[in-house]
Amino acid sequence: MRNLNQFADMTSGVVYIHASPVALCPHVEWALSSTLNARADLKWSEQDAEPGRMRASVDWTGPVGTGARLTNALREWSGLVFEVTENPSEGVDGERFCYLPGLGLWRGSTGANGDVIVGEMQLRALMDAQPDSAGLAGELDAILGTAWDEGLENYRMGGVGAEVTWLRQRVG
């Protein structure tokens, strides 16, 4: 029988480099490789949303907290547009980090289905600080990362030549 207070040691996630200057691509690979202690062999393709820039993604596996370490490594270059996800694991919520020049870095906790989790105490603090519904709505948008999602949406669309993985499940 396992200990019910056990927390996961390992997790996984994805790094999405949505837009990188061509000259920065090898540096991005080096930063990811050194953070993961494994070769990050990215397959770069053109970013249609921003011609002249490249896009790539890589799945990763590592200790809980690796998503934050990857984000710290990538945010050194202010010209990158990227997202890092860390999947939830036993006893640990997941995380999503988004970076857009002009907006900066956003971080949110995520549940098993990928939804952003907003805690009770965060909500109570917002309600106390915002006496009107317009102010509360704006603060909720900030916590949920709405501006980052809107800013990243054009980058998330697969461009010509972008790597796509199709997952199939047999039914019946």
What is residue 40's predicted lDDT score, i.e. its pLDDT?
85
Assess if residue 90 is contained within a domain: yes
Assess if residue 172 is contained within a domain: no
Where is pLDDT greater, at 7 or 58? 58
Q: Look at the chain and report how many structural domains it folds into.
A: 1
Structure tokens at 44: 């770069």
Helix axes 66-74, 25-36, angle to 10 degrees: 150
What is residue 165's predicted lDDT score, i.e. its pLDDT?
47
Look at residue 169 and tell me whether its pLDDT is greater than 50: no
Assess if residue 94 is contained within a domain: yes
Assess if residue 56 is contained within a domain: yes
What is residue 66's predicted lDDT score, i.e. its pLDDT?
95
Assess if residue 15 is contained within a domain: yes
Q: What is the mean pLDDT of residues 75-86?
A: 94
What is residue 55's predicted lDDT score, i.e. its pLDDT?
96
Q: What is the DSSP letter of 38?
A: S
Residue 151, domain CATH: 3.30.70
Assess if residue 91 is contained within a domain: yes
Percentage of the chain lying above the pLDDT 90 cut: 55
Strand partners, 21: 53
Least confident of 52-61, 69-78, 91-100, 162-171: 162-171
From CA 59, how far away is CA 55, in angstroms rounded? 14
Where is pLDDT greater, at 41 or 8? 41
Q: Which domain holds residue 94?
A: 10-112+146-165
Structure tokens at 146: 């709405």
Assess if residue 26 is contained within a domain: yes
Assess if residue 123 is contained within a domain: no
